Every structure is written in C-alpha cells, then in structure tokens.
C-alpha cells in the first residue's frame, strides 16, 4: 500500500478519530465524577473502548449493506443519509431509544426517565432488560426478512455458498416465500416460550414483518418513476427510509446488550456512539472506493451475518448469548467472504480494482 492510498484511507476516519478522542475524554471525566478515583475513571474508559469495539464488530455488516444501497442513490440523498443518518444513529438510537423504552415501559415522562438513568441505573437497566423480548422479536424478524430478501432473488447470479444460494434462487419465483419462511421460524420459536411471552413475541414479530413490508411498499411507490427528476428524488427518500429502519434494527441488539457491560446510559451512549461513527466512516469508504465491486463475495458475507444475527436475536428470547459471540461471528463471516473474494480474484486473474 502506498503512502498516498494509506493516508486517503485514514482520511475517511478523521471524524471518527475526533469523536473517539472527545468520547473517551468524556468517559474519563464521567468515571472520575462518579467514583472520584483514577481507577474508577479508567474503568469507565475501558468500558467505553469495549463497547465501541463491540459496536464496530456487530455493525460491520450494516456498513456493507448500507453501502450497497447507497451506491444507487442520488448524491444528495447519499449526503443526507450520511449526515442526518449519523445524528439518528448516535443520538436517536443510542440515547433517545433507550429513554423511550423506559418512558413506555414504566409509564413515566422523558425527563423522569433521564433522572432514573442518572440516579438509579440498576432500576433503569432492569426495565431495559425486561423489554428485551419484544425488541429482539421485532428486530430479529426485520433483519431476517432483509437477509432472505437478498437470497430469494431470481436475478441474483453470483453465489458464494452454492448449495444454499442455488436452492434459494431456484425457489425465489414463489411469491412471498421469504415471508413464509420467517412465519414458520416465528411460530416455532413462539412454541418454546410461555403463553404470555409467546403472545408478546408474536405481536412484536408481526410488527417487524409489517414494518418491513411497509418500507418495501413505500420504497417501491417512491421509486416507481425513477427517470423523472422529481421521482428520482422521491426514490432517494424511499431508500433513505429503508436504511433508517435497517440501522435501527441493527442497533436494537447492541443497545440492549450494552447494559451487560454498564448500567449507565451515558457511558453506553459514549461507547456505542464512537462505534457508530466508525461504521458510518466505513460505509462512506465502501461507497467511494467501490469495494463491494472489487470483492464479489463481501456482500454475501454481510447478508449471511445478518441472517445469523436475526436467528441469534430470536434465540436470545430463550437464553442469553454473549455479545462478544454475536460480534465475532458476524465479523468472522465477513472475513471469510473477503478471503474467498481475494482467492477468486487471484484464480481468475483479477486484481481487486479490476474485479467489478
């Protein structure tokens, strides 16, 4: 790698580096203010670092899927997603979302929820834990449909795992097959829960399915007349809404799981916010460098990781699975897909830049 390309790659992460410095500095201050010791400050500093790394490892597949959608969007809508989207990712999902859960679950006001987070973090964490089942059902259903929608595609002609993807492509002409698969899995999992939990699981999962369909229908309506200038702008809106819901679904598991490492909402927001900035930077780099075109199986690895994550979210309604396993599993799949892409390029005489 030349110095020029090395510096240009690092340039994509300059805002992420800045947020890292500011965030970790705030973490040190928060730790010292709460425990009044250097050891306490370093403990919070370490937790922020771990949360950031977990967020990056769990959301790298999100960056790849975002990049795949963004490459077909108009430049102005790309820019809107990368600016408004980061505000929603960092502030909306990492701060507002956990507060809203407590507002709804405890039937209290937003300010009272913030006071509860600051003064009684144990009680706050317990409310978040109790809300995990419907959130996992909703997010798992949405992400499962996202992944299956990629594999059940009759126009998809590049296969990574032939046995699985050939089968999916062969049956993709059956209308609604991905919805049928999700419904079967949903019903199987619901039978493993108690009657009360089963109703909650099914209700949340159906909402996840409906939101996915609503976003798909809305996107299709807005993208219908792409060739006209106004409709092209609206098409950008449809893709924008899809990516925002997708971002939210990816965030559910990380936000809930973060409470296993810290019960302090503000520490969690700092750690996950830092990670979200790196994910956004990776998204920009993937779009501008055309990395998805250079490595033919990278996108496949991301969608397999999404499928595994959705199943894990379902399983987490039955038993706890450490977030480290979730993150490393997704990162491992993407790593294997990257290695497979590089091997294919070498076998077929392509360099990375020529493998589009």
> DSSP secondary structure string, 103-161?
HHHHT--HHHHHHHHHH-HHHHHHHHHHTHHHHHHHHHHHHHHHHHHHHS-TT----SS
Cα separation values, 39 from 36, 43, 118, Å: 9, 6, 20
Burial class (CB in 10 A: 0-12, 13-18, 19+), 113: buried
Average pLDDT of the segment spanning 165-184 = 83
Q: What is the pLDDT, as a whole number, of residue 254? A: 65
Q: Which residues contact 84 (CB under 8 A, 6 or more apart)?
A: none
**In a 10 Å sphere around its CB, with 0-12 CB exposed, 13-18 middle and 19+ buried, how is residue 323 labelled?**
buried
d(CA 4, CA 33) in angstroms, rounded, equals 43
pLDDT digits (tens, 9 = 90+) for 9-67: 677 788 888 888 998 888 888 888 877 888 888 888 888 887 887 777 666 777 777 77
Helix (H) or strand (E) holding 222: helix 195-222
- pLDDT higher than 80, residue 182: yes
- Give the pLDDT confidence score for residue 338 in this predicted structure: 82
**Burial of 7 (C-beta count, 10 Å sphere; 0-12/13-18/19+):** exposed
**Candidate from 145-149, 213-217, 291-295, 315-319 with smallest mean pLDDT:** 291-295
**Which of the four pLDDT bands, split at 50, 70 and 90, describes residue 323?**
low
215 pLDDT exceeds 80? Answer: no
The answer on pLDDT for 90 being more than 70 is no
What's residue 3's pLDDT?
42
pTM of the model: 0.70
Q: How much is the average pLDDT of 133-155?
A: 83
Helix (H) or strand (E) holding 252: helix 229-258
Q: Does pLDDT of 183 surpass 60?
A: yes
Report the pLDDT value the prediction gives residue 226, as an integer from 0 to 100.
45
Overall average pLDDT of the 211-240 stretch = 60
- The whole-number average pLDDT for the span 330-346 is 82
**Ranges assigned E (strand) in the chain:** none
Please state the domain count of the chain: 1
For residue 78, what are the domain limits?
3-354
């Amino acid at each position: 790698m030349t110095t020029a390309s090395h510096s240009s790659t690092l340039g994509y992460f300059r805002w992420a580096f800045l947020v890292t410095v500011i965030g970790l500095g705030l973490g040190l201050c928060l730790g010292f203010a709460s425990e009044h010791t250097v050891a306490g400050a370093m403990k919070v500093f370490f937790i922020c670092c771990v949360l950031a790394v977990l967020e990056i490892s769990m959301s790298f597949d999100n960056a790849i899927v975002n990049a795949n959608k963004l490459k077909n969007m108009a430049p102005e809508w790309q820019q809107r997603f990368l600016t408004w989207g980061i505000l929603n990712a960092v502030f909306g999902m990492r701060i507002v979302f956990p507060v809203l859960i407590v507002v709804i679950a405890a039937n209290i006001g937003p300010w009272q929820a913030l006071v509860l987070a600051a003064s009684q973090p144990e009680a706050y964490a317990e409310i978040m834990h109790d809300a995990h089942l419907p959130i996992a059902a909703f997010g798992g259903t949405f992400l499962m449909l996202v992944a299956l929608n990629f594999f059940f595609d009759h126009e998809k002609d590049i296969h990574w795992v032939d046995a699985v993807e050939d089968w999916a492509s062969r049956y993709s002409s059956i209308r609604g097959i991905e919805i049928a698969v999700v419904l079967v899995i949903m019903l199987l999992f619901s039978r493993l829960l108690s009657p009360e939990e089963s109703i909650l699981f099914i209700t949340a999962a159906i909402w996840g399915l409906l939101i996915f369909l609503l976003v798909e229908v809305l996107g299709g309506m807005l993208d219908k007349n792409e060739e006209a200038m106004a409709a092209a702008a609206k098409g950008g809106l449809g893709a924008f809404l899809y990516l925002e819901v997708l971002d939210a679904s990816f965030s559910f598991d990380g936000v809930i799981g973060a409470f296993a490492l810290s019960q302090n909402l503000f520490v969690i927001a700092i750690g996950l916010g830092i990670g979200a900035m790196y994910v956004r930077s990776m998204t920009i780099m993937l779009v501008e460098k055309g990395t998805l075109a250079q490595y033919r199986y990278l996108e496949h690895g991301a969608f397999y990781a999404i499928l595994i994550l959705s199943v894990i979210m379902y399983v987490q309604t039955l038993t706890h699975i450490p977030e480290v396993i979730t993150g490393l599993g997704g990162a491992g799949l993407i790593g294997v897909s990257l290695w497979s892409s590089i091997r294919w390029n070498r076998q077929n005489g392509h360099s990375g830049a020529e493998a589009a």
